[in-house]
């Protein structure tokens, strides 16, 4: 599939070797011991199909009260630190940006998906968003600044890093589906997406 022609959307496929991906998964296991995955509900009360956690100063939360950043996990515990390997990756890809304050951890089983949305709960929208995909491949759809219109799709593979800046930073995007058993990285299958953001 051809790379997206959307401006300000970059995909880097060479950042994490399989060995680095395994190390990153190991670091995430430590994070998830401190901040276990939970199933968020939308403000209308519909359970989301992904399970979620976070690392960093803030985690992104969705529940009956709304969407927001919170300094603590629903358990009341602080979020774990963002793994150093992710901060190194951020520094090398977006050296001009401030350091990320949130690493959202999304876990997809083979039926999970993510509806079209904008990332717009952050105070400084000039800062980039960087995401890392691990495990099974996912069909990523990129749209426009407003809902609807023409979209473009691309399969994100394990180790792929997406950088969204400028006009892409506020564009609608989502995950249509997972391709089960397309990666051997995670022993029980599934996909992890990490989204790094500056919040304040
Ligand atoms: C996902 N990604 O890949 C969902 N957001 O599972 C996102 O929502 C996303 O990949 C902002 C920037 C990059 C992303
Ligand atoms: Fe997003």
Q: What residues of the chain score a pLDDT lower than 70?
A: 1-3
How many other β-carbons are positioned within 10 Å of the β-carbon of residue 30?
A: 13
> 174 C-alpha vs ligand 2 centroid, how far in Å?
7
Give SS3 for 126: coil
114 touches 177 (CB < 8 A): no
In this prediction the pTM is 0.95
> 24 C-alpha vs ligand 1 centroid, how far in Å?
18
Whose Cα sits closest to atom 1 in ligand 1? 193
Q: Ligand 1: which residues within 6 Å by Cβ?
A: 106, 114, 119, 129, 131, 133, 138, 140, 156, 162, 164, 173, 175, 193, 195
- What is the model's pLDDT at position 15? 83
Whose Cα sits closest to atom 8 in ligand 1? 174
Using most ligand atoms within 8 A of CB, pick from 193, 194, 196 the residue to mutate for ligand 1: 193
- What is the model's pLDDT at position 1? 58
Question: Which structural domains are found in the chain, ordered by start?
Answer: 9-197 (2.60.120.590)
Measure the CA–CA gap between 8 and 178, rounded to whole angstroms: 25
- What is the model's pLDDT at position 7? 82
Q: Counting atoms of ligand 1 from 1, which one is nearest the CA of 50?
A: 6
> 120 C-alpha vs ligand 2 centroid, how far in Å?
9
- What is the model's pLDDT at position 166? 92
- What is the model's pLDDT at position 2? 62
Measure the CA–CA gap between 88 and 27, rounded to whole angstroms: 14
154 touches 143 (CB < 8 A): no
- What is the model's pLDDT at position 155? 96
- What is the model's pLDDT at position 164? 95
191 touches 133 (CB < 8 A): yes
């Amino acid at each position: 599939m051809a790379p997206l022609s959307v401006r300000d959307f970059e995909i880097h496929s060479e950042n994490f070797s399989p060995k680095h991906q395994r190390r990153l998964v190991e670091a995430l296991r430590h994070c998830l011991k401190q901040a276990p995955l939970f199933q968020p509900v939308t403000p209308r009360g519909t359970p989301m199909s992904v399970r979620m956690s976070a690392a960093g100063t803030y985690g992104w939360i969705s529940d009956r009260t709304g969407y927001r950043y919170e300094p603590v996990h629903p358990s009341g515990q602080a979020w774990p630190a963002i793994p150093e390997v992710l901060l190194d990756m951020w520094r090398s890809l977006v050296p001009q940006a401030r350091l990320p304050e949130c690493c959202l951890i999304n876990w997809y089983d083979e039926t999970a998906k993510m509806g079209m949305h904008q990332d717009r709960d952050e105070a400084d929208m000039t800062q980039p968003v960087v995401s890392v995909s691990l495990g099974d491949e996912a069909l990523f759809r990129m749209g426009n600044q407003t809902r609807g219109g023409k979209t473009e799709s691309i399969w994100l593979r394990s180790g792929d890093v997406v950088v969204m800046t400028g006009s892409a930073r506020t564009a609608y995007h989502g995950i249509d589906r997972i391709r089960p058993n397309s990666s051997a990285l995670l022993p029980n299958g599934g996909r992890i997406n990490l989204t790094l953001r500056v919040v304040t």
